[in-house]
Chain A
Amino acid sequence: MSIRDTVAIVGAAESDVWESQGRSPIGLMAQAIKRALDDAGLRKDDVDGLFTASSYYHMPALNLSEYLKIFPRYVDSTTIGGCSFVSHIQHAAAAIQAGLCEVAVIAYGSTQRSDRGKLVSMAEWLPYEEPYGLQHPISSFGMIAHRHMAEYGTTSEQLAEIAVSARQWAMKNPKAPYPRPLTVEDVVSSRMVSSPLHKFDCCLVTDGGGAMVITSVDRAKDLNSKPIYVLGAGEAANHRNILGMDDLTTTEAVSSSQRAYAMAGVGPADFDTVHVYDAFTISALIQLEDLGFCKKGEGGSFVENGRIAPGGELPVNTNGGGLSYCHPGMLSMFLLLEAVAQLRDEAGERQIPDAQLSLVHGMGGALAGHATAVLSNRRG
């Protein structure tokens, strides 16, 4: 038994992004859910599976049930950091296949920008780390980047190429906030925050929410939206705190992606678009390695010369990603929504012609939790 090709994303929508104009985090979730249901041609009362994760609400599925008066028979608020929504796809597929629900909604909302641009987190500190003044999460990624540099000779200029490419994609996205180019020099001369990471090695801090509606492939046939099929999915985890990450340069993205590739019967060379978790330049680089797009340690040279920029051979984060479009604390909802936009041929100026197969990979914490999904506009 497998969840391969058993469910489809039939509704997908973003809330208003960047600044929330007086809306609460759960208000943004609700706005996105309404839009996603409209997209699917479904109503609130059709929803019987509710999936969410949050940095604001301790029991977010309960908040959402109350706020929207949705009364699910299947509830899942698995929280493994920013990749939680990719993991919800796999969980929703399993629940739908088991008959535990039929129409699942996955939702997220956050007002991190309106909250004075500070990362909102309910994360508890490890007592062995707390006394030393780490800045969560950038200091962990600083240590990851320094180790990658020491082992493989990766440079700040190579990391900067990732931010430069993201900005080039963002300039094709009318909703992205900074419609002007970024150079390698701009990145490496920006303020050092937690070495070796500069301000422009870091994602934006924005408001934003999103929602997806998932149902069985059979139910999808009765709906008017263009279904996006889930061909493969995989999860993995191996630590929580940076002290518990034994190898700072190789992650469990290797395991989660291999699980997803095996389920879908595909490999890295097959994807038309790739969506990876670019909270930091270094997080994207290590994921590209671990997902199999280049060998371990070669990520720095891989991203040079515009390979992941518009016109390059591997389209990565075509909406501008967390680095240059939108990062409301937990990014993977936006990775998924951009993959859906590409596969529906709705990505406007940044559309990859005839995109049929997309890879979405999310991480949670500092490369701690991992979830991979293989999506397609064709049945597997």
Chain B
Amino acid sequence: MAATKPIPTLRGEEKVYFEEAKNGRLVYQLCRDCAQRIFYPRTVCTNCMSENLEYVASAGKGTIYSFTTLHVPGHPEFADDVPYTVVLVDLEEGVRVLADLVDCDPDDVKVGMSVEVLFEAVTEDFTVPRFRPSAQ
């Protein structure tokens, strides 16, 4: 059995993001001053440097911008998972997130493929967003 998977030490905005994930929400930020959409969450807007930012939940749908399938585990804790695929997903709201792809044969993964988010509890306290091919 694989050891515990890595759980990041969370600080500041990072805590908010993963707390929202635990509630089943994939969030990004919207700048109330310039309407910039921001991922990952920050203290100031990447465009105008305003601190007037709000968290917004994504619909969780997007397309694969790129991907890689690991045939050698990135960490010993992933030894039982190979091959597994990590994806960069462009969400419909215009921000990009990184996660893994499940419920998909590695040979079928393609750039541009439609995917949707799901959430998985790694531990009681820590939940991560993941993606799977869209239902349609």
Which residues of A are interface residues toward B (Cβ below 8 A)?
A: 125-136, 139, 142-144, 146-147, 150, 191-197, 242-243, 246, 248
How far apart are A91's CB and chain B's nearest CB, in angstroms? Answer: 28
How far apart are A138's CB and chain B's nearest CB, in angstroms? Answer: 8
* In the bound complex, CA of A106 to CA of B106 (Å): 45
A133 touches B40 (CB 8 A): no
* In the bound complex, CA of A246 to CA of B71 (Å): 26
Q: How large is the interface on B (under 10, 10 to 19, 20 to 34, 35 or more residues)?
A: 35 or more
**Which residue of A139, A143, A144, A195 is within 8 Å of B74 (Cβ)?**
A139
Give the chain B neighbours of A248 by CB distance below 8 A.
Answer: 65-66, 88
B71 touches A191 (CB 8 A): yes
**Which residue of A136, A144, A193 is within 8 Å of B72 (Cβ)?**
A193
Give the chain A neighbours of B126 by CB distance below 8 A.
Answer: 131
Which of B6, B86, B112 has the most chain A CB atoms inside 10 A of its CB? B86
Give the chain A neighbours of B118 by CB distance below 8 A.
Answer: none
Q: Given contacts A150-B111, A243-B40, is CB(A128)–CB(B98) below 8 Å?
A: yes
How far apart are A270's CB and chain B's nearest CB, in angstroms? Answer: 34
Give the chain A neighbours of B75 by CB distance below 8 A.
Answer: 133, 135
How far apart are B94's CB and chain A's nearest CB, in angstroms? Answer: 12
How far apart are B79's CB and chain A's nearest CB, in angstroms? Answer: 10
Q: Which of B7-15, B29-37, B47-55 contacts A (4 or more CB under 8 A)?
A: B7-15
Minimal Cβ-Cβ distance residue in B for A126: B40
B7 touches A131 (CB 8 A): yes
A150 touches B96 (CB 8 A): no
B98 touches A242 (CB 8 A): yes
How far apart are B39's CB and chain A's nearest CB, in angstroms? Answer: 8
* In the bound complex, CA of A242 to CA of B96 (Å): 11
A194 touches B69 (CB 8 A): yes
Minimal Cβ-Cβ distance residue in B for A249: B66
B71 touches A147 (CB 8 A): no
Minimal Cβ-Cβ distance residue in B for A129: B98
13 interchain pairs, CB-CB under 8 A? A125-B8, A131-B6, A131-B126, A131-B128, A132-B98, A133-B74, A135-B75, A143-B88, A192-B69, A193-B72, A195-B68, A243-B88, A243-B98
* In the bound complex, CA of A316 to CA of B84 (Å): 35
* In the bound complex, CA of A284 to CA of B34 (Å): 38
Give the chain B neighbours of A143 by CB distance below 8 A.
Answer: 66-68, 86, 88
B68 touches A142 (CB 8 A): yes
Pairs of residues from A and B, 7 with the lowest C-beta to C-beta distance, nearest first: A142-B68, A135-B74, A127-B8, A150-B111, A147-B66, A133-B78, A143-B66
Q: Does B122 contact A (CB under 8 A)?
A: yes
Give the chain A neighbours of B72 by CB distance below 8 A.
Answer: 135, 191, 193-194
Give the chain B neighbours of A192 by CB distance below 8 A.
Answer: 69, 71
